């Protein structure tokens, strides 16, 4: 037997499995609500006009593809830091924040996890129950033990806040707590501002290390509104890590653009952290790719393009909200005895719809694909497919 002959098949990715089944379905009216991608009203992944215009600017001034610095494009890191913390943030003015370009939000999480493992090797990591399915695997692959904190309440389709705060208060000092800054994936259930106050207080008094994952900035209440949680954590002092992604907000999925930011206690500490984060990047992939970083930096730093981006992102956010409204209203008409009002209150691209695994299975018989947990991507609904979806759901209730 060779080294490879005894290796088992790894488990299939559940979401990619849905896509495979969807692709194999011959029904031309099939609908995939299992995805984690924003589609426009024509059912297409948008190419944002701000991105196209930035690319025109870049093409008009051809540049050789040298290596970027380990930490990425300087203009990108600066613009992203200002976006994430607010340009007037004390942590920026006091040079206490470092930001490195990363290979999407996933890359930012992995760099953060590897960095933490070096300096807090015995810390426990806590993620929400449920969470984005890659969180656990990412932190486990960095060598951590990953635990859950209570999060979702299937009874209310919202947050089990009493359970969450009790679990946070019980975490040992030094634990790493991963929090979704906004637009919780997979549930769509976010904390209120007052609940965030309590979480920030508990994290601070408990001596925990918050790691905020912000993959959907701008899809909730707005760019600044969604980023407010990050700013409040930064103001609370203490260590803080933030991963952010432009996959969804710039519709740049395949370009892999994101960043990791770390807030230190002083400028001098920040410089030491930067040197160590660079070491993690260097031993993983050396330095990030050029194109996506240049596109995002160009958009963020060119006032007209920035405005265009903010408008286009607002368009995506508003369309999702309209789909939530339509979903609730149309289901109310078709299935008045069932209450789906909570879908309107959920935030971001996803909804834990409350559909059971069995109901999801019956939807699939009608060529409508959702995740077994009942997660649907509201951003995959559009004015042409929503009636089909509603009829199918009404049938399986
Ligand atoms: N974090 C969360 C909560 C996500 O939902 C996602 C993507 O779906 C990511 C991180 C990863 O983002 P990216 O595709 O930029 O790696």
- Cβ 348 under 6 angstroms from ligand 1: no
Answer for the pair 99, 80: CB distance below 8 angstroms, yes or no: yes
Pocket flag, ligand 1, residue 218 (CB < 6 Å): no
276 Cα: distance to centroid of ligand 1 (angstroms): 24
pLDDT above 90 for 17: no
- Quick one: DSSP state of residue 380? G
Please state, for a pLDDT cut of 70, what percent of the chain lies above it. 100
Catalytic residues: 132, 213, 248
Q: Would the pLDDT of 238 be above 90?
A: no
Are 139 and 111 a contacting pair, CB within 8 Å?
A: no
| Degrees to nearest 5, angle at CA 351 with 249 and 371 | 100
Tokens of 333: 């008409």
Sort 10 into a burial class: Cβ within 10 Å, 0-12 / 13-18 / 19+: exposed
Ligand 1, atom 6, residue with closest C-alpha: 215
Tell me what the mean pLDDT of segment 63-77 comes to: 97
pLDDT for the residue numbered 236? 95
Alpha helices in the chain (DSSP H): 14-24, 49-60, 74-85, 90-93, 104-119, 133-141, 161-170, 193-205, 223-235, 267-284, 291-301, 303-334, 342-345, 357-365, 386-396
Q: Using most ligand atoms within 8 A of CB, pick from 35, 80, 103, 105 the residue to mutate for ligand 1.
A: 105
Say yes or no to pLDDT of 290 above 90: yes
Q: How far apart are CA 47 and CA 29, in angstroms?
A: 24
Q: What is the pLDDT of the chain when averaged over all its residues?
A: 97
Instruction: Say if residue 50's pLDDT is above 90.
Output: yes
Which residue has the CA at smallest separation from atom 8 of ligand 1? Answer: 36
Q: Is the pLDDT of residue 193 over 90?
A: yes
Task: Tell me what ipTM this predicted complex has.
Answer: 0.99
Span between the terminal Cα atoms of the chain, in Å: 52
pLDDT at 1: 85
289, with CB counted inside 10 A (0-12, 13-18, 19+), is middle
Residue 148 pairs in a beta bridge with 127
Ligand 1 in reach of 258 Cβ (< 6 A): yes
**What would the two tokens of residue 372 be?**
């077994």
Tokens read off for 75? 């203009």
Answer yes or no: is the C-beta of 249 below 6 A from any ligand 1 atom.
no
Query: CA 133 to CA 60: how far, in whole Å?
Result: 41
pLDDT at residue 136 tops 90: yes
Inform me whether the pLDDT recorded for 16 exceeds 90. Answer: no
Distance from residue 245's CA to the centre of ligand 1 (Å): 7
- CA 330 to ligand 1 centroid distance, Å: 30
Mean pLDDT of 136-159: 97
Q: Is the CB of 215 under 6 A from ligand 1?
A: yes
- 113-130: per-residue pLDDT in tens? 999 999 999 999 999 999
| Residue 273 CA to ligand 1 centre (angstroms) | 24
Packing angle of the helix pair 74-85, 223-235 (nearest 10 deg): 90
| Ligand 1 touching residue 247 (CB < 6 A) | yes
Which stretch of DSSP H or E encloses residue 148?
A: strand 145-150
Q: Measured in angstroms, how far is the CA atom of residue 214 from the centroid of ligand 1?
A: 8
Pocket of ligand 1, candidates 15, 134, 255: which has the most ligand atoms within 8 Å of its Cβ, to mutate? 134
């Amino acid at each position: 037997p060779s080294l490879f002959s005894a290796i088992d098949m790894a488990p299939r990715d559940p979401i990619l499995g849905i896509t495979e089944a969807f692709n194999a379905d011959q029904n031309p009216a099939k609908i995939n609500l299992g995805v984690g991608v924003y589609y426009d009203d024509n059912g297409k992944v948008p190419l944002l006009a701000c991105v196209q215009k930035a690319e025109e600017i870049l093409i008009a001034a051809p540049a050789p593809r040298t290596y970027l610095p380990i930490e990425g494009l300087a203009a990108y890191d600066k613009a992203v830091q200002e976006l994430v913390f607010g340009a007037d943030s004390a942590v920026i003015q006091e040079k206490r924040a470092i930001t490195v370009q990363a290979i999407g939000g996933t890359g930012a999480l992995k760099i953060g996890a590897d960095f933490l493992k070096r300096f807090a090797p015995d810390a426990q990591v806590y993620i929400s129950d449920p969470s984005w399915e890659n969180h656990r695997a990412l932190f486990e692959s960095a060598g951590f033990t990953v635990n859950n904190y209570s999060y979702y309440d299937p009874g209310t389709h919202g947050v089990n806040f009493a359970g969450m705060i009790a679990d946070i208060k019980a975490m040992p000092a030094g634990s790493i707590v991963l929090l979704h800054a906004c637009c919780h994936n997979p549930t769509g259930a976010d904390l209120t501002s007052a609940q965030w106050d309590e979480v920030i207080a508990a994290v601070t008094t408990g001596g925990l290390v918050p790691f905020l994952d912000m993959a959907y900035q701008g899809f909730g209440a707005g760019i600044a509104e969604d980023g407010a949680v990050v700013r409040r954590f930064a103001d609370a002092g203490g260590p803080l890590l933030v991963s952010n992604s432009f996959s969804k907000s710039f519709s740049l999925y395949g370009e892999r653009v994101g960043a990791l930011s770390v807030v230190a206690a002083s400028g001098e500490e920040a410089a030491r952290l930067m040197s160590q984060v660079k070491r993690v990047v260097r031993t993983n992939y050396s330095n990030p790719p050029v194109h996506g970083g240049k596109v995002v930096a160009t958009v963020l730093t060119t006032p007209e393009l920035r405005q265009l981006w903010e408008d286009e992102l607002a368009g995506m956010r508003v369309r999702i909200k309209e789909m939530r409204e339509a979903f609730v209203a149309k289901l109310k008409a078709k299935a008045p005895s069932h209450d789906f009002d909570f879908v309107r209150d959920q935030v971001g691209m996803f909804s834990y719809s409350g559909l059971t695994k069995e109901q999801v299975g019956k939807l699939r018989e009608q060529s409508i694909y959702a995740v077994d947990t009942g997660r649907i991507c509201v951003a995959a609904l559009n004015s042409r497919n929503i009636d089909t979806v509603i009829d199918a759901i009404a049938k399986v209730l």
